[in-house]
Chains A and B, each alone.
Chain A
Amino acid sequence: MSAFIELDNVSKTFGGGVFNRSSMVVAVDNVSLSIHEDQPSITTVAGESGSGKTTLARLLLGSHDPTEGKMLYRGKDFTKLTSKERLRFRREVQPIFQDPFESYNPFYKVDHVLEAPINNFKLASSKSASKKLIEESLEMVGLVPEETLGRFPHQLSGGQRQRIMVARALLLKPRVILADEPVSMVDASLRATILQSIRKLNRDLGISVIYITHDLTTAYQISDNIMVMYRGTVVEAGTVDAIISNPSHPYTQLLIESIPQPDPKKRWGEEPPQSDWELTDDVLVGCKFADRCSKVMDECKSIRPDQFKIGKNQMATCFLHKDAGKLSDDDLTSTFSYAETTNEKA
């Protein structure tokens, strides 16, 4: 069976042109991955701002076309879909955005965001059927319909608003949900409830979730697999357990080290060097992390490292691991594990 969505050596480049190659930004650089419908999992895409994680999400949503490479939806080239197939794709892949304040029109009651998809996709034949659908999906994310419906966005908390967005996505019975930093704008005390409802979707309804974040602690808590991006390249990928316990790329190590642990006894080490690549011209040769890397070697500056397979469930794009051998398949999701790991742990 072909994958639900497959990216085949996809790159996305912004800006530049025939005469001005230096202003070109490679937002996503040669990424291959696949999402399988029969193996629902939560996959985290982690990285700092500018690492290309949101561009990757937009590629998967079909709102950017790849500059190079191909995206396949149910085995078919995405650019060659019929309008009917495209509509189906729009229903099956749903986004949840970062800002629960901006995704609402303040003049409409919150019911509006829930009714719109029902009308657009003709999910209900009558008003009462539509109401029933809305109430079901609100209950699914732990909201009480009577306390939520009929209110304006400003009357609800950020956490409630974000959960309504999850409920909206749910109405369409999607196969994949792309959550782009869904909790970065809400208070720490409310994060837990939102993440819990996202995890429930995955477990109970078998929806695959792509969770985009720069927060590795929540990623570790909810996801099965993870890919770490740096300047458009996936520098490390695999199961979240493998990577958190044994981070192999120096960038992943820096990320994990920099997490502000809520424990005064585990304080940060020395201040890491600043990166100022935003002010310099894009380095097009060698490893992109070389200028900040504490373990930089000569070859890093001239040759782009391949994807090296470190263990069954881990790969890193770093010459430190070249003895491990290359990943046989370009598709980095081959390192992922889809066993019901979250259920076992629960």
Chain B
Amino acid sequence: MTTPDAAIRTYRKGASISDKDALILEDFKVYYGTPRGTVKAVDGVNLTLKQGERFALVGESGSGKSTLAMGLMRLIRPPGYIAGGTVTLKDKDLTDISDEEMRLTRLSEMALVPQGAMNSLNPVMRVEDQISDGIIDHLGPKESLSKDDMTKKILELLNNVGLRPNVARLFPHELSGGMKQRVAMAIGISLKPSMIIADEPTSALDVVVQRQIMQTLGRLQEGLDATILLVGHDMGLVAQFADTIGVMYAGRLVEVGPVDSVFSNPKHPYTRLLIDSLPSLDEKKDFVGIPGLPPQLINLPSGCAFEERCPSRFERCPKEIPEALNLGDRRRVACHLFENEAK
């Protein structure tokens, strides 16, 4: 799509995003089969992440953003299933490989940093055992680490995420929320993955800790030259952290683009409302929420899913699902309003 060697400009200091594709999703679909019908949680998402890019996926709860993240790691449990499309990581189609191959891909090439502050750590295992558990399990069959190397590796990982060595011997309940999140990050980067998926990594933490965690995550990512997919709903965090933003609504990507241009000039009415509903410290104003509720994913309207809540709808919206339009400058929007601007 882009011309080779085109430098990708971002607001991030010292950022190096290559033009190499790190992860490509094509027409990716994840459905849940329920007695009342099929829930199309992720419905035909096309997305390309570049090597070294920080991509943030935002949306309300129920928009399918977490399902997408879990789906591309093939961690969807029944009744959910991948209904179609491809996920390409390093020229390998992840939807096509065996379960065993996928298992070895996880953590070593594509790692998940979950909401560690909540309950992703095992309460009866020491931190060091939780870290080594992942390493042992996901290393290839021919590789292994000696006991000394493992201890060294664990201490190095703890140091990388900003924890003191004595944390290795502690249990999760002895750690604060921020420290638990750091442990979750240490596990995530233990095999130096090229792709890190961070699913709301700071949702239960307060602002100062949130900032520290995100900055540590950024530092780790730059050190590994990895690509990050950040999943969340906090637009402020996205503006601080990401290079590129993707807005999801009812299982579809409605807008994609570089953060600075999306924030300064949002195109899709939903993105605009999301940005406008954020309180700021600059001026006091009355709150504007987004009126209405997201649609039920079980029987989506035949037209645009946002149509009922949209302030700028017109007669075409309820009839036709808008296709993603390419607006140039790495921006895409799925809205009938921009038909004329498409390139």
Chain A interface residues (CB < 8 Å from chain B): 48-50, 157-158, 187-193, 195-196, 214-218, 220-221, 244, 254-256, 258-265, 267-268, 271-272, 274, 276, 278-279, 345-346
Contacts and interface: CB of A to CB of B under 8 A. Distances in A.
A189 B60 contact: yes
29 contacts: A48-B207, A157-B293, A189-B60, A189-B290, A191-B279, A192-B279, A193-B289, A196-B289, A217-B236, A220-B279, A255-B208, A258-B208, A259-B236, A260-B234, A260-B236, A260-B237, A261-B236, A261-B240, A261-B280, A261-B281, A262-B275, A263-B239, A263-B263, A265-B11, A267-B11, A268-B215, A271-B219, A272-B212, A279-B164
B162 A49 contact: no
B259 interface: yes
Nearest to B289: A192
Contacts of B279: 191-192, 217-218, 220-221
A187 B212 CA distance: 23
Contacts of A216: 207, 281
A120 to B, nearest CB: 32
B260 interface: yes
A53 to B, nearest CB: 10
A58 B60 CA distance: 32
B233 interface: yes
A189 B289 contact: yes
Contacts of B162: 274
A267 B239 CA distance: 8
B288 interface: yes
Nearest to B208: A258
Interface in B230-259: 233-241, 259
B343 to A, nearest CB: 24
Interface of B: 11, 60-61, 162, 164, 176-179, 205-212, 214-216, 219, 233-241, 259-260, 263, 273-275, 277-281, 284-290, 293
Nearest to A186: B61
Nearest to B117: A49
Contacts of B234: 188, 260
A268 B239 contact: no
B239 A260 contact: yes
Contacts of B289: 189-193, 196
A253 B178 CA distance: 20
Given A216-B207, A217-B278, 15 more contacts: A49-B176, A158-B61, A189-B274, A189-B290, A214-B207, A215-B207, A217-B281, A244-B281, A261-B240, A264-B239, A265-B260, A267-B239, A278-B176, A345-B284, A346-B286
Nearest to B167: A279
Given A187-B60, A189-B289, A278-B176, A259 B273 contact: no
Contact of A260 (B240, B286, B287, B290): B240
B331 to A, nearest CB: 14
A102 to B, nearest CB: 14
A55 to B, nearest CB: 16
A285 B20 CA distance: 56
B263 A260 contact: no
A189 B275 CA distance: 9
A27 to B, nearest CB: 16
B328 to A, nearest CB: 19
Given A193-B289, A258-B211, A264-B260, A188 B240 contact: no
A92 to B, nearest CB: 27
A217 B233 contact: no
A268 B211 contact: yes
A196 B239 contact: no
A188 B260 contact: no
Contact of B212 (A195, A256, A262, A274): A274
A83 to B, nearest CB: 39
A274 B176 CA distance: 12
A299 B272 CA distance: 50
The CB with the most chain B CB atoms within 10 A, among A190, A244, A263, is that of: A263
B277 A254 contact: no
Nearest to B170: A279
A188 B61 CA distance: 10
Q: Which 4 A-B pairs have the closest CB atoms?
A: A260-B236, A192-B287, A192-B289, A214-B206
B177 A49 contact: yes
Given A192-B287, A214-B207, A260-B207, A268 B240 contact: yes
Contact of A255 (B207, B233, B263): B207
Given A192-B288, A272-B212, A278-B176, A220 B281 contact: yes
A48 B260 CA distance: 29
A272 B236 CA distance: 18
